[in-house]
Amino acid sequence: MAATDLERFSNAEPEPRSLSLGGHVGFDSLPDQLVSKSVTQGFSFNILCVGETGIGKSTLMNTLFNTTFETEEASHHEECVRLQPQTYDLQESNVHLKLTIVDAVGFGDQINKDESYRPIVDYIDAQFENYLQEELKIRRSLFDYHDTRVHVCLYFITPTGHSLKSLDLVTMKKLDSKVNIIPIIAKADTISKSELHKFKIKIMGELVSNGVQIYQFPTDDEAVAEINAVMNAHLPFAVVGSTEEVKVGNKLVRARQYPWGVVQVENENHCDFVKLREMLIRVNMEDLREQTHSRHYELYRRCKLEEMGFQDSDGDSQPFSLQETYEAKRKEFLSELQRKEEEMRQMFVNKVKETELELKEKERELHEKFEHLKRVHQEEKRKVEEKRRELEEETSAFNRRKAAVEALQSQALHATSQQPLRKDKDKKN
Ligand code: GDP
C-alpha cells in the first residue's frame, strides 16, 4: 500500500451515524457470549503475600479460600528473601480459578534488611517480562498463556500499635508502581479496639506522608461505588485468620479460642476479615486483574519498549519505522561496543604500563641490593686477607723464634757433652 493511502486511511475518521433497527438482530447477546467464553477459559488470579515470617500469611490464605493449601513452615534463618509461588486449581460452581499464591519467604528475617525488597521487585518484573516476551512473539498464544503477573500484594503489617517499620515503608514504596497493594493489619486479635483504631489512622497518615500509593477500590462503577467508597475508609483491614472451628451457639464457626472468649473470624464486630474477602474476591477481583494489565503492566511495557528504542508517532509525523529503529539501535549498540572496546584497550595499556613501572622499580631495588652485597663482600674479603697476612707474619715470627730456640738448645747440649771428657783429661794429667 502506498504511503499516501496509508495516510489517507489513518487520518480518515468518519462520524458514526445512528440507525434504529427494524427488529431483533441478536447482538445484545454479546455480553452473554463473553461470559460464556470466559467461564470456559477459566480465570487466573495471583496473590503475593509479603510480611514477616509467622505473621499469619498461610493461615489467612487458608481462611480466605476456605481450604488448606500445602505450605511448608518457614524458618527464621533464610539468608535472603526468596519468592515461592505455588499454583492451585480451584473450582466454585462451574468457574475454574487458577490461583497462584506467592510467598515472600524469609522477609524481615535478615539482620541487614536494606535489600529485602529487591527479590520481590525482581519477581514482579520477571512476570511482566514473561508476558511481554509472549506478546512480542511472532506466534504468540496469549489465549492459553498462564498469566503469572501479580494481581495483588497483601502487605501484612505487624500489630505493634506504634507505627510502620521503615522496612514496611521502603518495601511498599518500591512496590507501589508495580502492583496493587492492599495493606492489612495481621493478628488483629492481639491489639485492643481503641489501639487498633489509632493504629489504622497512624498507618494511613504515614503512607500518605511518605507518598506510598495503595490500591483504592474503584468508585467509577455505579453498582459497587458506594460499598467500595465505604471500604476505602476502612483501610487497612485488620484481620484474624483461623482454620479452627469453634461452636458458637448451635453453629460451628471459624474462630480463635482464648480463655476469656472466642474471636470469630467472620464476625464483623471482631475483625475486618469479611470486608477483605468481599473486596478482594467477591467485588474487585476483576478490577485488580484489569488494573494490573492496564496500569502496572502498561507502565512496565512502555518503559521496556522505550528502552528498546520504540516510540509512538504523533498524528502528523511519519508512521514509526521498525527498520529505522532497528538501524538506529544497531548503530547505538555498535558505537557502545566500540567505546567499551576502546575503554578496555586503554585499560590494558595502562595496566601494562603500570606493570612495566613496577618491574623497573623491582629491578632497580634488586640492583641496589646486589651492589650493597658486593660492597659488603669486598669488605669481608679485605678483612680476611688482612687476617691471613697477620697470621702468616705471626707464623714466620714463630718459626724464626723456634729456630733460634732450637739452635740455642743444640749449643747447650753440645757444651754439656764436652765437659766430662775434659774432666777425665784433667784427672789423667
Ligand atoms: P506465616 O509464616 O506468615 O505463614 O504464618 P502462619 O500462618 O504459619 O502463622 C504463624 C502462627 O501464627 C501460627 O501459630 C498461627 O496459628 C498464628 N496465627 C495465624 N493467624 C493468626 C491470627 O490472626 N491471630 C493470632 N493470634 N495468631 C495467628
Query: What does 156-199 look like in DSSP terms, one character per residue?
Result: EEP--SS---HHHHHHHHHHTTTS-EEEEES-GGGS-HHHHHHH
Spatial separation of the C-alpha atoms in residues 396 and 345, rounded to whole Å: 75
pLDDT confidence of residue 317: 62
What is the percent of the chain with per-residue pLDDT over 70, rounded to a whole number? 92
For residue 67, the 8-state DSSP code is S
Flag the least confident range among 64-68, 315-319, 412-416: 315-319
> Per-residue confidence at 410, pLDDT binned at 50, 70, 90?
very high
Which range is most confident: 84-93, 264-273, 361-370? 361-370
Q: Is 56 left (phi over 0), alpha (psi -120 to 50) or beta?
A: left
Task: For residue range 231-262, list pLDDT tens digits in order.
Answer: 998 889 999 999 888 888 888 888 998 888 88
Return the closest-CA partner of residue 268 out of 284, 259, 279.
Answer: 279
The distance from CA 366 to its chain's CA centroid, rounded to whole angstroms, is: 50
108 CB near ligand 1 (under 6 Å): no
User: pLDDT at position 360, please?
Assistant: 96
**Residue 163 and residue 206 in contact, taking contact as beta carbons nearer than 8 Å:** yes
Alpha helices in 190-277 (DSSP H): 193-209, 222-232, 273-277
Bond from prior residue into 236 cis (ω within 30 degrees of 0): yes
Q: How far apart are the C-alpha atoms of 268 and 239, rounded to whole Å?
A: 10
105-158 pLDDT, tens per residue? 888 787 777 788 999 999 999 999 999 999 888 888 877 888 999 999 999 999
What pTM value is reported for the model? Answer: 0.73
pLDDT at 395: 95
Atom index in ligand 1 nearest the CA of residue 74 equals 2
What pLDDT score was predicted for residue 327? 81
| Distance of alpha carbon 177 from alpha carbon 215, whole angstroms | 10
pLDDT at 251: 87
Residue 415: what pLDDT?
Answer: 87
Residue nearest to atom 11 of ligand 1 (CA): 54
Ligand 1, atom 17, residue with closest C-alpha: 56
Is residue 62 in contact with ligand 1, taking CB distance under 6 Å?
no
pLDDT confidence of residue 222: 86
- Angle at CA of residue 36, ends 30 and 40, nearest 5°: 145
Q: Hey, whose CA ends up nearest to atom 18 of ligand 1?
A: 56
Neighbours of 253 (CB within 10 A): 16
Distance CA 376, CA 369 (A): 11
Q: What is the pLDDT of residues 6-61, one digit of tens each?
A: 555 555 677 888 888 888 888 999 999 988 988 888 899 999 999 998 899 999 99
Q: Is 187 in the pocket of ligand 1 (CB under 6 A)?
A: yes
Atom of ligand 1 nearest to the CA of 271: 23
**Distance from residue 156's CA to the centre of ligand 1 (Å):** 11
Q: How many residues does the chain have?
A: 429
> Do 134 and 146 meet the contact criterion of CB atoms below 8 Å apart?
no
Report which protein residue has its CA nearest ligand 1's atom 12. 56
CB 235 within 8 A of CB 227: no
Q: How many angstroms separate the CA atoms of 231 and 217, rounded?
A: 8
Do 141 and 82 form a contact (C-beta atoms < 8 A)?
no
pLDDT at 78: 73
* Residue 98 contacts residue 42 (beta carbons within 8 Å): yes
Report whether pLDDT(230) > 60.
yes
**pLDDT confidence of 310, banded at 50, 70, 90?**
confident
CA of 53 to the centre of ligand 1 (A): 9
Confidence at residue 1, expressed as pLDDT on a 0 to 100 scale: 47
**Ranked by mean pLDDT, which of 6-10, 309-313, 380-384 comes out on top?**
380-384
- Phi first, then psi: give them for residue 80, nearest 5 degrees: -150, 170
Residue-wise pLDDT tens digits, 144-185: 888 999 999 999 999 988 888 889 999 999 999 999 999 999
Those residues with Cβ within 8 angstroms of residue 87's Cβ, 6 or more apart along the chain or in another chain: 98, 99, 100, 146
Could you give the CA distance from residue 270 to residue 289 in angstroms, rounded to a whole number?
30
Q: Which whole number is the average pLDDT over 322-329? A: 76
Q: Ligand 1 atom 1: the closest Cα is on which residue?
A: 54
pLDDT at 8: 54
Cα 259 → chain centroid:
43
Q: Of all helices (H) and strands (E), which one includes residue 61?
A: helix 57-65
